[in-house]
């Protein structure tokens, strides 16, 4: 750990700081909310969609480093928010950017990104060499850290270092219970169209999908509606009996934050009961990982994770016919992954990452149950992956 004598002195005008658990201190200019927050520092390579990233519950307890230098230049609006908590949207606790946030320049903007960050209690840090920080994460893994913003430039660095060191980290942490809905909800929103906003769900639609919310992005539910389903969203700890009492034609397992093995302590037994009942299942990200756990596989913590809207994934499963071998450009956000070497004979690997060969999709043999590690609802490609919603809803009859 760096000693106080070797830490960089606070530059003039520095109103924000990132303090890593190893004692590294990175100064910058704070924006958004004042205060401090602890989390795991990761990086995201997306060029657009920063508001969706910041409100994705999968980023709970994380500090996002954006590799694209100009973040915030299109402002903020109410339509690009992906979640809603009691005190503002769930998602990342803070973000790190290269350039200062400029005035918004977009016809959809309803305000500045800085104001939106402040209103929603999220801390920003600009003026940071994000390339150097990204290289550090790639080489040494995602560190625990504290991000802090003080308009007066007053910081207790030793206390911030101690807080970063004392934080347990994401491994072994169940975060789904923090970000899930507290009550059952009939999903109302339809798909978004330019100039029209979001449509409305048809309450008489069939089939009926019950979605387990482990920290879901709202656009997932909109895509299920677009594919023709009626959607009921239930909390993460909903029991098998309560799910079945709703009369589902299929069950969706949502994305979410934290360690899938920790969340799986209560979710996996329910998923196993659903598999035994031959209930059609579709999982995304955390839901995909817990489906794999329920089928007998294991998950692992990744060195740096996959986060961005430009990840190539190849279809490798036997069930894709002429499209086997096709490559999709996908959006990803995960720091844990299914260990492909632990997949049992009853599970087929259907998708793999072309970046590192990690598992990106599975199907349970003899069941209508499949999952993908990436986020098809994020419109990568931009429509490369919508077929997954059609495959799931279309197969429910």
Question: Which CATH number do you get for residue 356?
Answer: 3.40.50.880
- pLDDT < 70: residue spans in the chain: 1-6
Give the pLDDT of residue 5: 44
Last residue of a domain, one of 102, 134, 166: 166
Same domain? For 74 and 162 the reply is: yes
Same domain? For 298 and 383 the reply is: yes
Same domain? For 304 and 251 the reply is: yes
Q: Which of 254, 244, 231, 191 lies closest to 386, judged by CA?
A: 191
Give the pLDDT of residue 308: 96
Same domain? For 220 and 269 the reply is: yes
What is the distance of C-alpha 332 from the center of its chain?
Answer: 8
**Is 377 one of the annotated active-site residues of the chain?**
yes
**Is 134 within the bounds of a domain?**
yes
**Is 226 within the bounds of a domain?**
yes
Q: What is the pTM of this model?
A: 0.96
Same domain? For 192 and 89 the reply is: no
Cα separation, 151 vs 217, whole angstroms: 32
Number of domains the chain contains: 2
**Is 52 one of the annotated active-site residues of the chain?**
no
Same domain? For 96 and 234 the reply is: no
Q: What is the DSSP string of 352-382?
A: EETTT--EEEEEETTSSEEEESS-GGG--TT
Same domain? For 34 and 103 the reply is: yes
Give the pLDDT of residue 6: 56
In angstroms, the Cα distances linking 61 to 18, 36, 167, 318 are: 15, 12, 11, 38
Give the pLDDT of residue 3: 47
**Is 346 within the bounds of a domain?**
yes
**Is 360 one of the annotated active-site residues of the chain?**
no
**Is 285 within the bounds of a domain?**
yes
Same domain? For 41 and 83 the reply is: yes
Token reading at 272: 């196993």
Query: Residues with Cβ < 8 Å from 367, sequence gap 6 or more?
Result: 275, 278, 280, 281
Give the pLDDT of residue 209: 98
Same domain? For 234 and 335 the reply is: yes
Whether the CB-CB separation of 15 and 32 falls below 8 Å is answered with no
**Is 130 within the bounds of a domain?**
yes
Same domain? For 115 and 181 the reply is: no
Helix axes 387-394, 218-226, angle to 10 degrees: 60
Same domain? For 71 and 199 the reply is: no
Set 52, 95, 149, 285: catalytic member: 285
Rg value, the chain, Cα? 21
**Is 5 within the bounds of a domain?**
no
Set 149, 288, 306, 375: catalytic member: 375
Give the pLDDT of residue 198: 87
**Is 171 within the bounds of a domain?**
no
Cα separation, 6 vs 24, whole angstroms: 10
Token reading at 19: 């303090």
**Is 9 within the bounds of a domain?**
no
State the residue range of the domain holding 160: 16-166
Same domain? For 383 and 277 the reply is: yes
CATH number at residue 71: 3.50.30.20
Set 52, 82, 328, 377: catalytic member: 377
């Amino acid at each position: 750990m760096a000693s106080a004598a070797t830490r960089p002195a606070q530059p003039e005008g520095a109103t924000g700081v990132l303090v890593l658990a190893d004692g590294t201190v990175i100064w910058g200019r704070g924006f958004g909310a004042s205060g401090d927050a602890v989390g795991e520092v990761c990086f995201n390579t997306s060029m657009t969609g920063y508001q969706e990233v910041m409100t994705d519950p999968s980023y709970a307890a994380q500090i996002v480093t954006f590799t694209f230098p100009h973040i915030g230049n299109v402002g903020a609006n109410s339509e690009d928010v992906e979640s809603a908590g009691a005190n503002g949207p769930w998602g990342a606790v803070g973000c790190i950017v290269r350039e200062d946030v400029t005035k918004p320049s977009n016809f959809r903007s309803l305000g500045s990104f800085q104001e939106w960050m402040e209103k929603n209690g999220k801390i920003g840090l600009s003026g940071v060499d994000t390339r150097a920080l990204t290289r550090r994460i790639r080489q040494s893994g995602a560190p625990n850290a504290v991000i802090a913003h003080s308009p007066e430039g007053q910081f207790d660095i030793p206390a911030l270092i101690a807080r970063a060191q004392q934080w347990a980290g994401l491994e072994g942490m169940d975060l789904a219970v923090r970000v899930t809905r507290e009550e059952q909800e009939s999903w109302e929103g339809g798909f978004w169209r330019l100039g029209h906003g979001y449509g409305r769900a048809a309450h008489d639609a069939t089939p009926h999908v019950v979605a387990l919310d482990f920290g879901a992005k709202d656009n997932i539910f909109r895509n299920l509606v677009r594919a023709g389903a009626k959607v009921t969203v239930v909390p993460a700890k909903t029991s098998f009996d309560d799910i079945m009492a709703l009369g589902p034609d299929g069950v969706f397992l949502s994305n979410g934050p934290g360690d899938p093995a920790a969340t799986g302590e209560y979710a996996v037994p329910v998923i196993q009961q659903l598999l035994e009942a031959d209930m059609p299942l579709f999982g995304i990200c955390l839901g995909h990982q817990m489906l794999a756990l329920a089928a007998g596989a294991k998950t692992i913590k990744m060195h740096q994770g996959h986060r961005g809207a430009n990840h190539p994934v190849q279809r490798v499963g036997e069930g894709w016919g002429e499209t086997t071998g096709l490559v999709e450009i996908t959006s990803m956000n995960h720091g844990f992954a299914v260990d492909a070497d632990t997949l049992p004979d009853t599970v087929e690997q259907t998708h793999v990452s072309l970046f590192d060969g990690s598992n990106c999709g599975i199907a349970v043999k003899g069941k209508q149950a499949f999952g993908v590690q990436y986020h098809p609802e994020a419109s990568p490609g931009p429509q490369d992956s919508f077929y997954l919603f059609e495959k799931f809803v279309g197969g429910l009859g």
